[in-house]
Amino acid sequence: MNNFTHINDQGQPAMVDVSAKQVSLRVATARSIVVMPPEVISKFADGDIQSKKGPVFQTAIIAGIMASKKTGELIPLCHPLGLDNCKIDIHINQQQEVVIDCTASITAKTGIELEALVGASIAALTVYDMCKALSHDIVIKETKLMSKTGGKSDFKRAE
């Protein structure tokens, strides 16, 4: 027996069998933080910036939701899930960083953490893509799971 859920007893990759698990409401929130130089942050007004490609935050929200729905196609051995909900919130914090929170939920036999992580990650990459014409000095500082409920255990990260 091993501790990795996606490796079988023969040491080979395997999808986790969730057929015996109980259905429960599962909710996860992930966060990505994007650091931009002051000259880019200063372009944001009224909660968004209009780039040549369109509104940055609005486009990132759509991209993040679309990506979250495709997580099972992007991550090997990840169960394809039909999300019940996916919400992305983007704001600029006191440190002048772009904070992207993706919350995904489903009533199912398996978790939703990866969907939230993928949604936040792709939203961050979209912000980078849409702002790179202004500067390439943009850093996606981190992506992390903030919380999850449902399933075997709950998790809550201190902010």
Query: Which are the catalytic amino acids?
Result: 129
The 3-state secondary structure of the chain reads CCCCCCECCCCCECCCCCCCCCCEEEEEEEEEEEECCHHHHCCCECCECEECCEEHHHHHHHHHHHHHHCHHHHCCCCCCCCCCEEEEEEEECCCCEEEEEEEEEEEECCCCHHHHHHHHHHHHHHHHHHHCCCCCCCEEEEEEEEEEECCCCCEECCC
Which residues partner with 79 through β-bridges? Answer: none
| 45 Cβ contact partners less than 8 Å away, ≥ 6 residues apart | none
Name the token pair of 134. 């202004």
